[in-house]
Amino acid sequence: MRWGVVQSKTNMTENLKTQDADNLVTIANKFTLQGKVTAVQAFGNGNINDTFLITLDSQEEQHFVLQRINTQVFRQPQLIMRNMCLFTEHIYQRLQYSPLSRRWEVPRVLLTKDSQEYWREADGSFWRAISFIESAQSFDTMGDRSHAQEIGYALGMFHNLISDLPPEKLADTLEGFHITPLYLQHYQEVLAKTRPRQSPEVNYCLQFVSDRSGWANILENAKATNHLPLRLMHGDPKINNVMFDTVTQQAVSMIDLDTVKPGLVHYDIGDCLRSGCNRAGEETEQWESVYFDTDLCQGILQGYLSVAKAFLTDNDYAYIYDAIRLIAFELGLRFFADYLAGNVYFKVKHSEHNLARAIVQFKLTESIESQETTIRNIIRDLK
């Protein structure tokens, strides 16, 4: 399922158990200032948090997004909410001051009736509400080239709108996020404690990681030596986190803002491209069909640079290829380490799910590596 427009009123318990739906209505009511909750649906396909779409009988806000933050992953979820309030307010002010000539929306934090940024249940679960972008939808895989350009534009616009907010204003809500050498270290620790079941797939992954471990610190080295500056980033700009207007088919928003924090814009560029240029999608099990589409890469980068050219330096361009290769590899490594650790981080549908996901990312990395010259030429020609 992807984020999309609600076509019709759904039954309150359509995809939830009655008791769960009742609890969710009670929690949703902590946030709603107007209107009655008329429906609750499980929503989106996130790997970490639990997401629900709430429908109201209000004229003003017809829907909102209710989420339970995974506090095993985000240990200080209140910092996420503080960050979100800070940067969404910053963007809102900027857009008031210099409006764009096209539709662009920023999800808003909805406060509780007591004006709090979140609601904590007695069992410790952490809930928050975010405004819903109406008349918009997202996609799990890429359509045509203009779709690719819009995805790139959305990331560029997002970076642009936070580029004048000093990175140190935002808290680090997920330490180690996208620091590849730390994922590698964690993987090695897990590996030392586990005896993975031998199979051609597991052996492929073990060899794949081992062959690339010397290179995994390329972006961290660039950061440490000031070749790449610390900036604010989105953290998770994968294709289905970009919302498209259902009529104009233009990108109108970037959602999933939990990981907006100090980092490298290269993590985002890499994540956006590894996700957008994989036509088979990250959940496929047809590994032989996974490849990196360089036409889509050209489209995304063209859209991105149409906005980001203004703030990128020569060094930034020099590391774009490595970022694409690294973030695909890193996600494969994260999935594989989680498979070895017993699936403790990413939600899974079956015990081999993270292994399958890892292979997709490693196949994608191979495809990126085999097209290095083409990708570097695309970057050079767009500069």
Task: State the residues that interact with ligand GN1 by CB under 6 A.
Answer: 46-48, 73, 174, 236, 238, 256, 259, 282, 331
How far is 211 from 333, CA to CA, in rounded Å? 12
Write the single-letter amino acid at 213: S
State the minimum distance, in angstroms, from the CB of residue 327 to ligand GN1.
8
Question: How many CB atoms lie under 10 A from the CB of residue 12?
Answer: 17
State the minimum distance, in angstroms, from the CB of residue 74 to ligand GN1.
7
State the minimum distance, in angstroms, from the CB of residue 258 to Mg ion.
6
Q: Which does 47 bind (CB under 5 to 8 A by kind): Mg ion, ligand GN1, none?
A: ligand GN1
Distance from chain centroid for Cα 61:
25
In this structure, what token pair is assigned to residue 81?
A: 């909410």
Q: Which does 272 bind (CB under 5 to 8 A by kind): ligand GN1, Mg ion, none?
A: none
State the minimum distance, in angstroms, from the CB of residue 76 to ligand GN1.
13
How far is 177 from 31, CA to CA, in rounded Å? 30
61 forms part of the interface with Mg ion (CB under 5 A):
no
Using the Cα atoms of residue 100, residue 103, residue 106 and residue 111 in order, give the sign of their dihedral: positive
- Select from 138, 137, 139, 141 the least CA-distant residue to 275: 141
Identify which of residues 79 and 382 has a Cβ nearer to ligand GN1 in the complex. 79
User: In this chain, which of 245, 256, 268, 293 binds Mg ion, going by CB under 5 A?
Assistant: 256
Identify which of residues 143 and 281 has a Cβ nearer to ligand GN1 in the complex. 281
The per-residue b/e assignment along 189-217, b for 16 or more CB within 10 angstroms, e otherwise, is ebbeeeeeeeeebbebbbebbeebeeebb
**Which single residue brings its beta carbon nearest to Mg ion?**
236
State the minimum distance, in angstroms, from the CB of residue 65 to Mg ion.
13
State the minimum distance, in angstroms, from the CB of residue 48 to ligand GN1.
4
Length of the chain measured in residues: 383
Identify which of residues 37 and 106 has a Cβ nearer to ligand GN1 in the complex. 106
Contact in structure between 71 and 77 (CB atoms under 8 Å) = yes
- Span near Mg ion by CB under 5 A; candidates 35-43, 56-64, 220-228, 251-259: 251-259
Identify which of residues 236 and 245 has a Cβ nearer to Mg ion in the complex. 236
236 forms part of the interface with Mg ion (CB under 5 A):
yes
State the minimum distance, in angstroms, from the CB of residue 332 to ligand GN1.
11
Helices (H), 171-285: 180-193, 200-212, 218-224, 265-276
Identify which of residues 25 and 280 has a Cβ nearer to ligand GN1 in the complex. 280
Beta bridge partners of 262: 232
Identify which of residues 32 and 180 has a Cβ nearer to ligand GN1 in the complex. 180
How far is 71 from 77, CA to CA, in rounded Å? 7
In this structure, what token pair is assigned to residue 117?
A: 């940024």
Using CB under 5 A, list all residues that contact Mg ion.
236, 256
